[in-house]
Structure 1
Amino acid sequence: MISNQALLLLMLSNLWPSTALPFMSGNIGNLFGMPESDGKVLQRSKRGWMWNQFFLLEEYTGNDHQYVGKLHSNMDKGDGTVKYILTGDGAGTLFLIDEKSGDIHATKRLDREEKAMYTLHAKVLDRNTNAELEPDTEFNIKIHDINDNEPKFAREIYFASVPEMSEVGTSVATVTATDADDQTYGNSAKLVYSILQGQPYFSVDSENGTIKTALPGMDREVKENYQVVIQAKDMAGQMGGLSGTTTVSITLSDVNDSPPRFANHSFRVTTVESTEIGGAIGRIKADDPDIGHNAEMEYSIVGGHDTFNIITDQTTQEGVIIIKKALDYESKKDYEFRVEVRNTYLDARFIHGVQFKDYATVKVTVEDVDEPPVFTRNPYIIEVHEDTAAGSFVGVVLARDPDADNKPVKYSIDRHTDLERLFSIDSTNGTITTLKALDREMSKWHNISVVATEINNPRQTTRVPVFIKLIQTISAVDTDEPLVGHKFVFSMSGTNPNFTIVDKEDNTANILTRRGGFSRREMSMYFLPVVISDNDYPIQSSTSTLIVRVCACDSRGNMQSCSPEVLPFSDGLTTGALVAILLCVIILLMIVVLFAALRRQRKKEPLIISKEDVRDNVVSYNDEGGGEEDTQAFDIGTLRNPEVMDANKLRRDIIPEMLFPFRRTSPIKDNTDVRDFINGRLQENDSDPTAPPYDSLATYAYEGSGSLAESLSSLESAANEGDQDYDYLSNWGPQFKKLAEMYIGRSPDRET
Structure 2
Amino acid sequence: GKTMHGQIQIFIVICLIEAAFSQIRYSIPEEMRKGSFVGNVAEDLDLGLDLQRLRSGRVRIVTAESIQYIELKTDKGILVVSERIDREQLCQEVTPCSFSFEVILENPMELHRVTVEINDINDNSPMFRKDEIKFEISESATLGSRFMLASAEDADVGNNGLQKYILTTNDMFVLKQHSTPDGKKYAEMILQKPLDRENQPKISLKLIALDGGTPQRSGTVNIDITVLDANDNPPIFSQSVYVATVMENAAIGTCITTVNATDADSGSNSLITYRFSNMKEYLNDIFQMDEITGVITLVGHIDYEKDKKYEIMIEAVDQGGLTDSGKVLIDIVDVNDNAPVINVMSFSSPVPEDATPGTTVAIIHVKDADSEQHGQIRCSIDNNIPFKVKSTLTNYYTLVTDSVFDREIVPEYNITVTATDSGSPSLSSTTTLRLRISDVNDNAPLFDKMSYDAYIIENNPSGMSIFTVSARDTDWNQNAKISYFLEDTQVSGNPVTTFVSINTETGVLHAVRSFDYEQLKQLQLVVKAQDGGSPPLSSNATVKINILDQNDNAPQVLYPVQTGGSLVAEMVPRSAEVGYLVTKVVAVDVDSGQNAWLSYKLQKATDRALFEVGLQNGEIRTIRQVTDKDAVKQRLTVVVEDNGQPSRSATVSVNVAVADSFPEVLSEFTDFRQDKEYNDNLTFYLVLALAVVSFLFITCLVVIISVKIYRWRQSRILYQSNLPVIPYYPPRYSDTLGTGTLPHVYNYEVCRTTDSRKSDCRFGRAGSQNVLIMEPSSTGTMQRIQSDRSILDEPDSPLEDNAIKIFYNWRLPHMSDSLRFPLFFFRVFKTEMFHFYFSHGNVSCHSEVTTINV
| Fold agreement, TM-score > 0.5 | no
Structure with more strand by fraction:
2
Question: Under TM normalisation by the shorter chain, which class is it?
Answer: 0.3 to 0.5
TM-score (norm 2): 0.30
TM-score (norm 1): 0.33
